[in-house]
Amino acid sequence: MYQEMTIASATPVVDDESQQSAWASARIARRMDTETRVWLRASLLPEFDASNSLNGLKRRLAQKGFYLAKSNAGIVLRDCHSRVEICTLEALGVSAYALERRFADA
């Protein structure tokens, strides 16, 4: 599911010294502050709404530097550069079940 790709300028900046994106701190913090959550929702929810298929959603997220993956927590959003788990879809206000139903026929 992961492919090497260019991270769009709307995503956090990559630190050239450590070769980690700003999302790498999620590995340590294991929680997201309110401002970051609001930024992610504002940035990504339009991509979820505009997508007509799962492949279309994957392309749209990849253009912003993210991808979806399965984990013990359900479907999660990950950073393409560092592969760090950012948050669950539910944390973004997206129901994985609703997405599955919506894209079932697509």
Whole-number Å distance between alpha carbons of 30 and 51:
29
Distances, alpha carbon 13 to alpha carbons 64, 76, 90, in Å: 12, 21, 25
- What is this structure's pTM? 0.72
Residue 29 confidence (pLDDT) above 90? no
Which range among 21-25, 26-30, 45-49 shows the weakest confidence by mean pLDDT? 26-30
Whole-number Å distance between alpha carbons of 84 and 61:
15
Decide: 61 and 46 in contact? Cβ < 8 Å: no
Residue 4 or residue 74, greater confidence = 74
Residue 94 confidence (pLDDT) above 70? yes
Backbone angles phi, psi at 26, to 5 degrees: -60, -30
Q: What is the pLDDT of residue 73?
A: 83
Residue 8 confidence (pLDDT) above 60? no
Residue 10 confidence (pLDDT) above 50? no
